[in-house]
Amino acid sequence: GPLPPVTPAYRERTTRLEEQLAPVSGLEVTGAWVAGTGIAAVVGHARTAAGRLVGSHGGG
């Protein structure tokens, strides 16, 4: 289905989810549902997430 509209409440929920998952080593969430719509937002978010994954395994 379509992505929900990005409202301040939606952004708060996705931010809270990312904060709750941050302590879990080797787990990242990304995609338009969390990064926002637009290819630039998704690619930037995915690169940041990938960097954290590589860094958490000593590869960065």
HSE at residue 54, side-chain half, CA atoms within 13 A, is 8
Asked if residue 2 belongs to a domain, the reply is no
Predicted TM-score of the model (pTM)? 0.75
Q: How far apart are CA 31 and CA 46, in angstroms?
A: 7
Query: Which domain, by its residues, includes 41?
Result: 8-56
Asked if residue 33 belongs to a domain, the reply is yes
Instruction: Quickly state the pLDDT bin for 5 (edges 50, 70, 90).
Output: confident
Amino acid at 29: V
Instruction: Quickly state the pLDDT bin for 59 (edges 50, 70, 90).
Output: low
Q: What is the tens place of the pLDDT at every residue in 10-46?
A: 899 999 999 999 999 999 999 988 998 889 999 999 9
Q: How far apart are CA 17 and CA 27, in angstroms?
A: 12
Count of structural domains, the chain: 1
Asked if residue 36 belongs to a domain, the reply is yes
Q: How far apart are the first and last CA of the chain?
A: 36
